[in-house]
Copies of this chain bind each other. A is one copy, B any other.
Amino acid sequence: MEFPRRTKISSHTINILPRYAETDKGGVIHHSVFSIWFEMGRTELLRANGVAYKDLEAAGVFFVVAQLNIKFRRPVQYDEQLLLDTTCSAVSAAKVEHVYKLTRCSDSVILAEGASVLACVNEKGKVRRMPEFMYPEHE
């Protein structure tokens, strides 16, 4: 597997349609689901840069979530069209940071915001250096 030299795209947007199984008896999406969507956002940002996360894992590079912060601004309804913006906000030898913004398509209202810090580990879970291509091109 060959990886790109540098990351060219720092921000990416995906569509999300909340599933019935993701709701709870409060009638809206359960708060644990947002972190799953954020992970999907990271995966697609990576893919937009030419890297499939499964290929990274196959090459012995694993990203593990070290920190996660979420602000839930408004309830998210079942089956309403959403946009999730994922931006890589910082990269260092030890960690990569992302910020997230979840908006409702119909009126662009922000429903949630988040931030995460990921560490890079090998197949044994030991911290390893960030792969070179994770750094943005113009740094």
Which of A's residues lie within 8 Å of B, judged by CB? Answer: 19-21, 23-28, 30-33, 35-36, 39-40, 43, 52-54, 57, 62, 64-72, 75, 77-79, 125
Partner of A68, one of B25, B31, B125: B31
A23, A26, A39, A65 — most chain B CB neighbours (10 Å): A26
Nearest B-chain residue to A25, judged by Cβ: B23
A53, A71, A77 — most chain B CB neighbours (10 Å): A71
Q: Min CB distance, A119 to chain B, in Å?
A: 9
Given A35-B31, A72-B66, A24:B24 Cβ within 8 A: yes
Residues of B within 8 A of A62 (CB): 26
Residues of B within 8 A of A28 (CB): 25, 125
Does B32 contact A78, Cβ atoms closer than 8 Å? no
Does A72 contact B78, Cβ atoms closer than 8 Å? no
A108 to B60, CA, bound (A): 29
Does A67 contact B71, Cβ atoms closer than 8 Å? yes
